[in-house]
A and B are shown apart, each in its own frame.
Chain A
Amino acid sequence: MTVTFRRDFQALCLFCLILGQPIQGHAGKPAFSLHGFGTLGLARSTDDSAEFVRDLSQRNGLTEAWSFETDSVLGLQANLHFNPEFEGVVQAASHYNPHGDFKPELTWAFLSYAPSPAVTLRAGRLGNEFYMLADSRLVGYSYVTVRPPVDYFGTLPFDYFDGLDLAITRPLAGGLFKAKAYAGLSREQSPWAELQFNMSGSLLAGAYLDFIKGPWQFRLGHANLQFDRDLPVEDFYDALPPNTADELRVADKSTSFTAFGAVYDSGPLQTQFMLSRTLSHHGVFQDAWAGYLILSYRMHALTPFVGLSAAKSSPKDLDHPIPGYTDVFQAEFYNDQRTLFLGTRWDFMENFCIKAQMDIVRGKPESRFLYRWENLEDWDGSMTVLSVTLDFIF
């Protein structure tokens, strides 16, 4: 894994160095521009009995040994402005992926058409906007914490989809009102022990409403994910009575995500509050509540922050349960934990910052969904995670 990490990451670093500074057209009119972002992260946990992951797209997680994998990322983006109405964007990123390596992947690739400032239509590969700020999760420089709160964002292994979105913006009541709808197909996977849950072909569709006024921004969103394939446990399904297996299949069934977000951003003070409700029409992924609150306050180059996040799920009652089997299976997807996190961001030079963070996770021993490789005899649901990152843009 380390060798692969070095090869892929170094190759992308070299590519970025060769390309150097953003390229702009003559007379200050940028026809083509090239930018990048990256994070060099180190993190460890205090508990080897379960591995902490940034989100469910990661194959392995943190142990008591310091690790680069969890938060390190390097991305490169090219923007091509054809004219004021049309723009093309391509972004590739290298980060720790479901296969346990850093092979770069295409994270954005779309054409956008903006016939007026009020309307934007994009088609191609687009970032997932299930939750507010979810489409910029890889860009560590853009937020104050080391990583988006895992209790909230960790259950989303979807970074992008192939489809389209339409956004309409209008002034309203002294503020700005924005409505956006999107739909497309997932192309991603989520590792599950030695297996891969292939979500490619799953249909994502959703919409959200934003209202921005002064320092406030509010968002109400709803998204639906209809799975195209079942979990890779066909032997398990075959061993169950058909009506029981049907309740535990996800193919052609859906999970919905409803979320509310509020941001207050005024001068040095930034606050974020988000709350989500996940509901599933199958017996696998559990209905869940998740939320978080972050407070940060800039003091010169330092921005200390503190936050609290939580997630709690409950399994579906099956019509045809097999005690000792179906309940054990459903327990793999259970989640009940809280995290207090605190740290600071230091903007020590232009376009670079260093962050340090401590996450104090407290949960039930049965809370396992957001971890990898739990040792059930030792796992007590609690751990502390220590992280430090260097984030940059260019």
Chain B
Amino acid sequence: MLTLASSVIANETSLVVAIHVSAGVETLTRDQVINIFLGRFRQLPNGHLAIPIDQDSDHPIRAEFYRRLVGKNPAEIHAYWARLIFSGKTTPPREAESEEQIIQWLMTEPGAIGYLPADRLREPLKAVFTLDP
């Protein structure tokens, strides 16, 4: 039931890429978000290190985020990371166990950047990119 409810939220709600206001980032482009979350270039526009955070792998919002961002399903994302992990290039985003943990990391760790349903955004976090349904 919870999974079904989460799926509905994932499908119908805007997702926002969020970061702490103190990071000094106003907005990100789609390519910049892709670069950070797919491990191509993890640097914020102000030059600071970006630390991407994924939702739990079972959370439907995670699949929805990558579907909206790059049009890929979870198997394709796993295949992508298999290539990078096993050629020693980079590692996937840190994985949070819950939405609350993502929010906690975003609030406490410099450079942490994650994605949330738009209605879960709270101060002092700000949306720097939006993925509409």
Give the chain B neighbours of A77 by CB distance below 8 A.
85-86
- Report the minimum CB–CB distance from A362 to chain B (whole Å): 30
Per-residue CB contact flags for chain A residues 251-285 toward chain B (1 = under 8 Å, else 0) read 00000000000000011100000000000000000
**Residue among B74, B76, B85 with the highest chain A CB neighbour number at 10 A:** B85
Task: Look across to chain A and name the residue whose beta carbon is closest to the beta carbon of B86.
Answer: A139
* Contact status of A29 and B79, CB under 8 A, knowing A116-B43, A117-B43, A267-B72: no
- Is B11 on the interface with A (CB-CB < 8 A)? no
Give the chain B neighbours of A139 by CB distance below 8 A.
82-83, 86-87
Give the chain B neighbours of A135 by CB distance below 8 A.
87
Binding site secondary structure of chain A:
strand
Q: Which of B94-131 contact A (CB under 8 A)?
A: 94-97, 101
Give the chain A neighbours of B74 by CB distance below 8 A.
350
Q: Say yes or no: B83 contacts A143, CB within 8 Å.
A: yes
- Report the minimum CB–CB distance from A366 to chain B (whole Å): 36
Q: Say yes or no: A351 contacts B78, CB within 8 Å.
A: yes
CB < 8 Å neighbour of A28 from B49, B73, B85, B96: B96
- Is A374 on the interface with B (CB-CB < 8 A)? no
- Report the minimum CB–CB distance from A297 to chain B (whole Å): 12
CB < 8 Å neighbour of B94 from A30, A118, A175, A353: A30
Give the chain B neighbours of A142 by CB distance below 8 A.
79-80, 82-83, 86
- Is A298 on the interface with B (CB-CB < 8 A)? yes
Per-residue CB contact flags for chain B residues 45-59 toward chain A (1 = under 8 Å, else 0) read 000011000000000
Q: Report the separation of the CA atoms of residues A116 and B46 in the bound assembly, to the nearest whole angstrom.
A: 13
- Report the minimum CB–CB distance from A17 to chain B (whole Å): 19
Give the chain B neighbours of A354 by CB distance below 8 A.
none
* Contact status of A350 and B75, CB under 8 A, knowing A28-B94, A174-B31, A175-B31: yes
Q: Say yes or no: A141 contacts B82, CB within 8 Å.
A: yes
Give the chain A neighbours of B91 by CB distance below 8 A.
30, 33, 79, 81
7 smallest CB-CB distances across A and B, nearest first, come from: A267-B71, A142-B83, A347-B75, A117-B43, A142-B82, A135-B87, A136-B83
Chain B residues in contact with chain A, CB under 8 A? Answer: 31, 35, 40-43, 49-50, 70-76, 78-80, 82-83, 85-88, 91, 94-97, 101
